[in-house]
Every structure is written in structure tokens, then in C-alpha cells.
Structure 1
């Protein structure tokens, strides 16, 4: 019997109409019964301040608990100014602190995203991968998954209308599931 993984996902955009939120829904459909995707909310996190490390705010504690309770974390990010959105950077700062209590250490992760721009989210993903490497988080390295989003590609409910995009998403989900199997068998 195949393992069903509990995967927490973080959407780097706070917009309810985010194309990356649509991508998250599509990933959930494609993952089917291999993964249960549950959103880890980041919109209510205060800006990280190390003065709060000894008494974490409720949203930061919840974030850390959800990451620690998940089998893996999937980061679905847009690209803002050729980098990672501030809300996502902030979430990683909370997740990785205080020193010695990094919730991402050893946590299997994957990174993907879509953007209306021609390079998709390639540059943001590279920055995000650097942050995750520093956090000692094992990452799915390939296939990378980013694409230029055009209106009508994915509906709000996650229905995919483009066969090429469906193929890219399916390859990514298959590779992520295999990566999680490998991570589980090596631990």
C-alpha cells in the first residue's frame, strides 16, 4: 500500500486571487490520494523580531507546529522584484528561529510557482532554495516547476485547461512523491 503524505503548503502571495493559490489547488487535484495538501497560513504573521523569540506570537507558534507536524512542506511562490515575496521570507524567518529550534531542519521540501512574467518564478525559486539550504531542509532538486501563467490556464478550483501545464504539474507531483518515498526510506 502506498504511503499518503501529509504535505503542508505555503503560498507566498497573500492575495486571495493569487495565481499561485490556483496552482496550489491544481497540485492538490493532481496529487490525488498520494498526498493530503493542507495550507499553512502566513498572512497573519507579524514581521519577524528576535525580541519575540522567548514568547512566540500565536501565529508564529502555529506556523512552526504545522511545519513540524507535516511530512513535508511545499512552497508555492510568485516572484516579486526578481525575488521571494516579503511575506514568504518572513514566514521562513519565523520557522527557522529561535536559534536551535529551526522547524525546517530535516523537513523535506519542494519549491514551485507561476507568474505572468516570461521567466516564471525561476529567480525567486533560486533565492528560496538558498534559504532552505541554509535551513538544512532536504529539497526536491528536479524537475523544477515554474511557468508563465496566462489567464484561463487554471481555474480557481484547480481545474487545469492546458495540457502542457497539466503535464508539467504531473511530472512535478510524481517526482515529489518519489522524493518523499526516498526520504522516508533513508531515515
Structure 2
């Protein structure tokens, strides 16, 4: 009856933490994301935080992250995460970090594809108020041509309805005329 408790205990492997840490190379901060987060979401959130952090007056240049990669010292090639890839940490020596490029750098692939890193030029509300910009107002989706097309469509619909009504009203006479001539 009395079994040894040490024999009944099951040793569970240590569960991975419920989050992954990503080092933002633009800000130098480490951001935490829950396990199962997609890399595209993480990059968008990091870029949004960088954009909001630089909410100072005047014009600012912000270097945004293009993607996330896992790196390990001694490894030649990092593991890059695509936008729909789930962020995972491969082990204790692996670190996740954002990839940014300085303004003059550009990446080019062997197949002739040329990629320029994203830069955001930011102007504060004060800067817009002081400058004499010729910024055009967004056009309304309802224009005079649009209203004209709608009115023409209604006129054509009513004309088509009138023709059908006249045809249906005269249909019995047409049937009598065809029957009497046969």
C-alpha cells in the first residue's frame, strides 16, 4: 500500500518560456512577443513603436526594420523569418533580432532583384502649419460625372420599363392578330 513517492513522481521537461525576445537594432531595446507570434506582425509592431517613439517636433529620419532573423555566433548564415513565419527561438545560443540597413545600403539578389530599405520621413503638425505646402485635398468619390452616370442609368431603366410595359399591354392584341392571320 505504501509506495515510495519518489517512484511515482514524473519529471517534466522544462517548458519553454511563453514568449520570445527580439532585439530591435534601431532602438537597442529587447521586445517580448508571445509564442506563436508571426514575424510580420512583430516587424509591424516594432516599426510602429519606432515611429511613435520619434514623435518629436521637426523632421526625423527613422530606419525601420525589414525582417527578423535568428543568429548564432559561429554560424555563417542567419535564419530569416518571412512575414507569415512563426517566431521561434532555436536554442540558448540563438538570438532573434531585427534587420535594418543604413540609408546608403541596398540589398540585391543574384536574380537582379533590387531592394531599397524603407525610410520614413516624418513631419510634425507644427512643421506642416509653418510650411506653405501645396497639399491638395483628397478628392470626394462623388463627382459630377458620377452623378451624371447614375441619372443616365435611371433614365435608361425607366425607358426600358416603359417599352416592356407597352409590349405587355399590347401582347393580347398581337396574339389575336397572329391567330386571325393563320
> TM-score, normalized by length of structure 2?
0.21
